[in-house]
Structures are given as C-alpha cells and as structure tokens.
Amino acid sequence: MSLIIEVQNLKCEGCAGTITSKILALEGVEKVIVDVESSAVEVSIEEEAFSETVVTRLSELGYPVLEIIMELVKRLNPMSVVPLVR
C-alpha cells in the first residue's frame, strides 16, 4: 500500500534526506520518495496499520501532515485477478 502525504516545512533536499532516513527506519515501511517541489512524501507500507505511525513520526520530525492525498493499493492477490476469456 502506498500513501501520498502533503507535509509542511519541506523546503530543501536536506529535509528530504531527513524524512527519507527517519521514515525508512520505521517498522513496516518499504520505500520513501520525497518531492520537495510539491511538499509530498510517498510512503510504501506493508499494511494500513502503519500509516498512523508514519503520520505521527512526520509530525515529530517537524513536518506536520496537511493532507493524505491518496492511498494506493499496490499489491494484488493473484487469486483475485480474473483472466479475460475470449
């Protein structure tokens, strides 16, 4: 699952580096991509339950969350995919 989160105070690549390293250190976080221009942080997490931890940690680091823009489910259960029959 991926979250795209808009945060405050994201001003430079140093901020991006801090966010990346500190959020990647959290349990359940698989990947972090930071876009300084849009003040957005994309975080791939194992389960939805980890999203609250990510939001809390961003605030603790000085990057309060303005909005969770999008939640994307990136993993499909192969058994739930129905093949097209022609």
Question: How does pLDDT run across 53-84, given as a tens digit for each residue?
Answer: 999 999 999 999 999 987 766 555 555 444 55
Quote the domain boundaries for residue 29.
2-75
Q: Do residues 71 and 1 make contact, with C-beta atoms less than 8 angstroms apart? A: yes
Q: Is residue 15 part of a domain?
A: yes
Please count the structural domains in the chain: 1
Question: How does pLDDT run across 1-34, given as a tens digit for each residue?
Answer: 899 999 999 999 999 999 999 999 999 999 999 9
Q: Is residue 85 part of a domain?
A: no
| 36 pLDDT higher than 70 | yes
| 41 pLDDT higher than 90 | yes
CATH number at residue 39: 3.30.70.100
**pTM of the predicted model, to two decimals?**
0.81
- Write out the two tokens for 82: 């129905």
| 39 pLDDT higher than 90 | yes
Q: How far is CA 31 from CA 10, 20, 24, 28, in A?
A: 18, 9, 7, 10
